[in-house]
Amino acid sequence: GQNIDQPTEMTATEGAIVQINCTYQTSGFNGLFWYQQHAGEAPTFLSYNVLDGLEEKGRFSSFLSRSKGYSYLLLKELQMKDSASYLCAAVDSNYQLIWGAGTKLIIKP
């Protein structure tokens, strides 16, 4: 079956760096998305990777290894407003999104 795994919750300190991991098993693969979701709000797009490697966007970077079925989201210089859930979603061979349950990130001062 198709499956996405990511940690349920992580805690980090303001100003620090945190890495949120995601592993996936899908029927075919057409890329991986990361979304941010603040409590009670809609998910918003952060990044998309389809090729191996690291993509950097300001304080946020996303990495993909297709051979390992693995991705991570790296958040640098953490701010209190980064407290949110981070959702990993892989695109399968039918171009359907397979969603992880999300990682709740708690930022402490």
Partner 1 sequence: EAQVTQNPRYLITVTGKKLTVTCSQNMNHEYMSWYRQDPGLGLRQIYYSMNVEVTDKGDVPEGYKVSRKEKRNFPLILESPSPNQTSLYFCASSPPARDFSYNEQFFGPGTRLTVL
Nearest 5°: the CA angle 83, 46, 26 is 105
Q: In this complex, which beta carbon is closest to partner 1, that of residue 49 or of residue 78?
A: 49
Does position 33 bind partner 1 by CB under 8 A? yes
- Using the rule CB under 8 A, which residue among 17, 54, 101, 106 binds partner 1? 101
Least distance CB 15 / partner 1 (angstroms): 29
E strands in 1-109: 3-5, 9-13, 18-25, 32-37, 44-49, 53-57, 60-65, 70-75, 84-91, 97-99, 103-108
- Using the rule CB under 8 A, which residue among 21, 60, 70, 99 binds partner 1? 99
Binding range to partner 1, per CB under 8 A, among 52-60, 62-70, 72-80, 100-108: 100-108
